[in-house]
Structure 1
């Protein structure tokens, strides 16, 4: 489908990149103060339709006015300091104002996903119910378009559910708003749940502002910078990096809804091309992958796009693929995109957002590491050495300490692989109402991230998640290595494969690979299965279980990551049914 180049509606003028108000890099005591200060500028948020056409200009000043009115409304409805208010995080002025209203009212906003990331109505209601049960909100607010689904989830949990318009119909009495303290909880953020049950991360004002400050100083955010994003606002990269950071650092931003990006990914690059300032825009690997694939069948890249002012092309949220980044550079170099704009990072909701960031301009840097070193397994001298390219994820933010630790908590030296731990003001307060989980990962101020990596000359390299490791006959294998090997076969896209360990009929463990299959002929499916098995054998040195499944079967987390744990659970329970092959 050919995408049409959008035009800005003449009647609307985007918010400016610069204004006389001196920039402050999130040096506030509370986020309330950050909102108040940003509202003194002429900057703000700009919402675009599916074709990237500007349809709503929403200044920080207007947002603050609406937020203060909504805060009084919340208090008038009986919402007290410390209560949770769940918000369906639609990319809209209503969500941004309601989030800030909760902050002003002393309530904890809880951003939750839209139904677009789930397979159907029942699965969405179930997932929403899980998060509502965990966060225990007094109120769920949402766009009117999902009235039926949201009300069903709210009724199941026993909280009040109202759409934006219903809520706006309540009185907003003239009442005093509570004072905020830097150590108060500012919001509740759900981690992706890719390897564990979804858990609410409690983030204080102090932690949020420290992370926003570290992000701004490390990225050298300054005059002329402007944000452009399609990321969902319920995920930490979208919420913190592309919404709260824009307020805390007084940056104008252009928004494209995530579902619109999914249908027309190149609208994202169109918006960057029209940006009059220095663009800052972030994406997981798959966003760059989709754009590179979409443009491969089109020509005249330089005529359509101007990516020469894209200063910070952030990478994060999942494992960074250097091959995909190179494909993006190849596809868009003629449009002025510079490889040095890539800004790899590492972070997680439990540390508010960022832990490490590559200094601007250094781009993607990789080290080739033997797979045996990555897994900690002894070298098989009968097979040639295999290497994986590990991406440099940058240096720790100011006041953030990072250590690599072994099984006995000993601190590892450079280039020694172990568990990644971090400590600093950005680290979460706790998991909400889950003391056991909190104590499991927070030890003497240090956060056990659950990720594996190594340090080298002050830079962090991430190799995978400890809980994803596949251990067969005492030998360790990273599922990413197996998945990436299958992706090299023709016809597969990023996210088409899930690898994990299963128990075979003889009681032994073997790697299992679920693969999206777009082949309809049963005989061809058999050939494809055998081809995949051969490829995995060449990587792991052993046989595996290969199951071909229908496209769009593999489950994803709310942030769009592949959920191997859930894929395994659904497969073993029979909820994922493999396709039939020829006899």
Structure 2
């Protein structure tokens, strides 16, 4: 193990990218702490590479250089009077500044707390409010942010009386020499806010041991190769981006190429350009909507093969939301001529409360589906009907990773047999110790070491299939309806895409539960809007048997979580409070 007072020779770097191959012997995250993982990765020449919106390399950042910067920051934190166990909140902008400050906190035995960047909806006040509640929850001694967010950050910091600095002003602090405190493997490494945690945030306390166990399981499940290189646009404030595409590559000594999330949103095909330029094999992950936006961008172009070479994309990870088989097939159709193989798809299931990975599909198996009858999904009827009237394709999310157990339980807590749908519970060494300073929420979801994920699913032959979120289920006349089914049905109408529809239940005038559907509308003619509303109403009635409330709303109105997922709960709250204003359509 390296003495952290030693300097590491950084002459292994070269002009351009950090290399894919390296003479350093690979270790599969078998370290006691995250700081030890960086110490080892810094012995080699691999590292991070940051790109602009067009995919042009802006800065190569070897792990050796990251280590030196992080150690300097650790001593700066000491100079500011921070002590072991104090929290440092950091706006998680994809760049070397955040990475150095995050690991500086790790080296100083502090707890870094990644906070989100502003989203495209909600505006200044909503973002400041979001920062305020997370600062209240994490109670940091220091808040760091990029200078372009000074106005937002200072407004939130002033409300909570938190000392705030931008990246540049931190550099002006003279490091204090001396011995840094150390953290044990079972001590807290950082706090991770789960996506969707806005008004009542849940800070997941992740220990070094839980993290390294999950990163090792990730490396084993993905069968990491010497030629592998990671390419990512995922945000670092979300567990899939932070753990899966920042901490995992470092702990596995893999070079990474990064696009900022906002640059991907503007130019999504730059992601595929980076994958195409990688001469080795690529590991790259995305929620469903990332694949969707790429295939849609290609629809107006001719041949993908004229621009891309995706033949070396070894693992196309898919997770963080319900996996849409139709979207995945559209991606294959769009990019097969560029060499993309459907077998590269690697569905997974995970959540921040389990550090990240719960299950991963074995490499090469691709997307496998099972057709499940609506009566099984809704919990009524039997699967013995000769021909199901309706069914949904459920995606196989793989096998439990090393050290993780999965059980499917009924409402009364009993374990269910294969292919019986129930609540998903998980147990393993990478499951959280609890939510930070929130024992009630911790107790509500944990029992005897088992975590209630809040998801519904079933096991089949050792594989996990996720059906949906329990809290999103719409119950009408005693029958369960998944909002995804309603949303997917509406999306089949012309002019809609994934993310245009939010379905949820509201209470009608007589106290009955009624399905409500909010739909992004892109037509301006009043008569066409009326016809569209009627078509949607009929489509939903065919599924639920009840006439729904259908509201047409302006595009880009539906709220998203920090990871880009549709937030049905927030959409419902904004609609009921009048903050989402539907178009006025004559009856």
Q: Distance in 1 between matches of 2:262 and 2:305?
A: 26
Q: Secondary structure at the match of 2:165?
A: strand
Q: 547-556 vs 250-259, which deviates more?
A: 547-556
2: CA distance between counterparts of 1:162 and 1:250?
31
- 1:215-234 correspondence to structure 2 within 5 Å: 215-234=218-237
1:334 corresponds in structure 2 to 337
CA contact (8 A) 2:133 2:200 kept: no
TM-score by length of 1: 0.97
Cα shift at 1:117 = 4.6
2: CA distance between counterparts of 1:384 and 1:438? 40
Seen in structure 2, the aligned counterparts of structure 1 residues 12 and 551 have a Cα distance that, compared at 3 Å, is farther
TM-score (norm 2): 0.96
State the partner residue of 1:124. 127
Which of 357, 361, 367 is matched with 1:358 structurally? 361
461, 466, 469: which one aligns with 1:462: 466
- Aligned residue number for residue 200 of structure 2: 197
Structure 2 residue aligned with 1:567: 571
Residue 382 of structure 1, CA deviation: 13
Q: State how far apart, in whole Å, the 1-side matches of 2:513 and 2:460 are.
A: 35
Of 490, 501, 504, 1:486 maps to 490
Is 1:74 matched up with 2:55? Answer: no
| 1:578 has 2:554 as partner | no
Residue in 1 aligned with 2:7? none
TM-superposed CA distance for 1:246, in Å, is 1.1
Match for residue 508 of structure 1? 512
Q: CA deviation at 1:300?
A: 2.6
One of 442, 445, 452 as aligned partner of 2:446: 442
Q: Once the 2 structures are TM-superposed, how far is the Cα of residue 522 of structure 1 from its aligned partner?
A: 1.3
- Say yes or no: does 1:88 pair with 2:69: no
Question: What is the deviation of 1:392?
Answer: 0.1
* Counterpart in the other structure of 1:5: none
- Structure 1 Cα separation of the partners of residues 496 and 269 of structure 2: 21
Matches within 5 A, 1:541-556: 541-556=545-560
- In structure 2, the residue matched to 1:7 is none
Deviation at 1:384, TM superposition (A): 6.0
Q: Which residue of 2 aligns with 1:323?
A: 326
Task: State the distance in 1 between where 2:484 and 2:48 align.
Answer: 37
Q: Which of 121, 137, 156 is the matching residue for 1:153?
A: 156
Contact 2:34 2:212 survives alignment (8 Å): yes
- State whether residues 133 and 198 of structure 2, in contact with CA within 8 Å, keep that contact through their aligned partners in structure 1: no
Distance 2:531 2:184 in 1: 63
- Report the Cα offset of residue 276 of structure 1: 1.4
Equivalent of 1:30, from 33, 36, 39? 33
Comparing 143-152 with 112-121, which one deviates more in the overlay? 112-121
Q: 2:130, 2:199 within 8 Å by CA — same for their partners in 1? A: no
2:434 to 417, 430, 433: 430
Of 509-518 and 186-195, deviating more is 186-195
Alpha-carbon deviation of 1:157?
A: 1.3
Superposition CA RMSD, Å:
1.5
Is 1:290–2:290 an aligned residue pair? Answer: no
Cα deviation, 1:496-543, whole Å, max 9, x if unaligned, reads: 111110111222111000111111111111101000001111122221
Q: Is the contact made by 1:12 and 1:55 (CA closer than 8 Å) also made in structure 2?
A: no
What is the deviation of 1:399?
1.3
Q: Counterparts of 2:507 and 2:428 in 1: how far apart (Å)?
A: 41
- SS state of the match for residue 213, structure 1? helix
Distance 2:366 2:547 in 1: 38
Question: Following superposition of structure 1 onto structure 2, how do residues 139-538 of structure 1 map, counting pairs within 5 Å?
Answer: 139-193=142-196, 197-378=200-381, 385-538=389-542
- Give the secondary-structure state (helix, strand or coil) at the position aligned to 2:524: coil
User: Number of residue pairs matched?
Assistant: 573
Write the distance in 2 (CA, Å) between the matches of 1:18 and 1:178.
34
Preserved contact between residue 371 and residue 392 of structure 2 (Cα < 8 Å): yes
User: 1:285 & 1:478 partners in 2: Cα distance?
Assistant: 18
Deviations 1:236-284 (A, max 9, x none): 0000000000110000000000000000000000000001111000000
**Partner deviation per Cα, 1:518-574 (whole Å, 9 max, x = no partner):** 111111111010000011111222211001111111111111111111111111111
| Shift of residue 54, structure 1, vs aligned partner | 0.5
**Long gaps (5+) in structure 2:** 1-13
Matches of 1:322 and 1:384, distance apart in 2: 20
Q: Does 1:56 align with 2:59?
A: yes
Residue 379 to residue 527, structure 1, CA distance change in 2 (3 Å): farther
Contact 1:417 1:454 in 2 (8 A): yes
**SS in structure 1 of the partner of residue 119 of structure 2:** helix
Query: Per-residue deviation at 1:193?
Result: 2.1
Evaluate the alpha carbon distance shift between residue 195 and residue 449 of structure 1 in structure 2; reply closer, same or farther with a 3 A threshold. farther
